Amino acid sequence: MKNPAFPFLLPMLLLSLGGFVAPMGVLAFYSLSAGGNPGLFGNYAAFLEDPFNLWIIVDTVTLGFKVVVVATCLAVPIAMLYWHGGRRLRQTVVVLALLPMLASNIVRTFAWIVLLGRNGPLVAIADALGLIDGPRSFLLTEGGLVIALAQIELPLLLLPMIAVLSRMDRRLVEAAEMAGAGPWRIMFTIVLPLTLPGIIAGWILTFASAATNFVTQAAIGGARLIYLPQFLYRQVNILFDWPTASVVAFILIISTGSVILALAMLTRHPRLIGNA
């Protein structure tokens, strides 16, 4: 190679090929060939034949969607607060959005175990309001898991939205105001549509992170709520069934990846290009 930059790239290139591409290739080959099922895609066919497994796929993708929906409901008012805020309020919102990032996923999950548990404040509040009869726990429920994941992944949605809002031209909103639009209408027809590139970027990050967040899913969902990551973990460390685990690994990539690709396609819409 004549290019003088090549020696600088070589170590990373070797690491990528040897440390990443090769193991992933092995995994792909393994998922096709290991195990006792006949045919090229025998392992996959065997996995997909079981309706229980299909439900796990559906549940995983649905979990991702539910978290995205809840996180969006939480993020929109905060983003609008940022939009209307002056310099100080805007700084405060950004700092508070970054603050949870200082705590690791385990720490944030731990917080939710305290909050959702039998002795936690949420149960006490719900009990006081008469929403539930008698002390119980919100752990091991899908609702609890969705709320926890939504809070844990919220900065991933909020920060891209704020990035777009901070660059948005205020005159667009003033133009809408002069056209006679009220605050709600401005939010729905101008501010949010123009934030869409940030929202979609945030949806991708939130979805990917929530659907594959093994630690939170396992710690809050427990053994009763099974999603693909935990299923994968069990195949490896409990059942020692590596062929099935490798199939699950690719199914996890494909099922979440196709949602992510679909979302990414949305950003190519001609009306979204160029703004943001």
Partner 1 sequence: MQTHSQALTVNGLSHTYAGQPAVEGVSFHVAAGEIAALLGPSGCGKSTVLRAIAGLLPAKPGVISLGGRDISPLPGRERGIGMVFQNYALFPHMTVAENIAYPLSFRGWDRKRRQARVEELLATVQLGGLERRLPRQLSGGQQQRVAVARALAVDPALLLLDEPFAALDRALRLDLQIELVRLQQTLGITTVIVTHDQEEAQALASQLVVMNRGHIEQTGTPAEIYDHPASLFVNSFVGYAGKIRAVVESASAAGSTLKVSTGETLRLPRELRFAPGSPVVLTVRPERLSIVDRPSDFTLAGRLLVSTPLGPDVIRSIALADGTEIKLTEPRDLRRSPLESSAPLFIALDVVNLHVFPAGEAL
Partner 2 sequence: MRKSWTSHLSSISYGLFVYGLGALFLGFMVVPVLISLSMSFTSGQTLKFPPPGLSLRWYAALLDPVQSEIVQQAAWNTLQIAVFAVLASLVFAVPAAFGMARISARRANALEPLFLAPMVLPSLVYGLALLIAANLMHISPSIWLVVLANVVVFGPLMFRATSSIAQQLDPSLEDASSLLGASRWSTFRRVTLPLLAPGIYAGMFLVFIQSIENVSLPLFLAPAGTTILPLEMFAMLQDSLDPRIAAISGVLIAITVLVLVAVQRLTPFLRDQGRS
Positions touching partner 1 (CB under 8 A) are 169, 171-172, 174-182, 185, 189-190, 193-194, 196, 270-275
Residue 5 token pair: 């930059």
Residue 208 CA to residue 49 CA, distance in Å, equals: 25
* Residue with Cβ nearer partner 2 (51 or 77): 77
115 binds partner 2 (CB under 8 A): yes
Name the amino acid, one letter, at 157: L
- Name which of partner 2, partner 1, none residue 256 binds, using a CB cut-off of 5 to 8 Å depending on partner kind: partner 2
* Residue with Cβ nearer partner 1 (262 or 273): 273
Fill in the DSSP letter of residue 2: -
Minimum distance, C-beta of residue 169 to partner 2, in the bound complex (Å): 20
158 binds partner 2 (CB under 8 A): yes
35 binds partner 2 (CB under 8 A): no
Minimum distance, C-beta of residue 126 to partner 2, in the bound complex (Å): 14
Residue 188 token pair: 């729905």
Classify 134 in phi/psi space as left (phi over 0), alpha (psi -120 to 50) or beta: left
Max Cα separation, the chain? 75
Residue 169 CA to residue 158 CA, distance in Å, equals: 19
| C-alpha triplet 130, 134, 139: angle, nearest 5° | 100
In angstroms, the Cα distances linking 23 to 26, 29, 227, 234, 236 are 5, 10, 24, 20, 16
Instruction: Show Cβ contacts of residue 215 under 8 Å, excluding neighbours closer than 6 positions.
Output: 105, 106, 109
* Residue with Cβ nearer partner 1 (176 or 220): 176
What is the footprint of partner 2 within residues 239-268 (CB under 8 A)?
242, 245-246, 249-250, 252-253, 256
- Name which of partner 2, partner 1, none residue 181 binds, using a CB cut-off of 5 to 8 Å depending on partner kind: partner 1
Residue 120 CA to residue 239 CA, distance in Å, equals: 34
What is the footprint of partner 2 within residues 172-231 (CB under 8 A)?
182-184, 187, 208, 212, 214-215, 218-219, 229
- Name which of partner 1, partner 2, none residue 127 binds, using a CB cut-off of 5 to 8 Å depending on partner kind: none
* Residue with Cβ nearer partner 1 (46 or 276): 276
What is the footprint of partner 2 within residues 133-152 (CB under 8 A)?
151
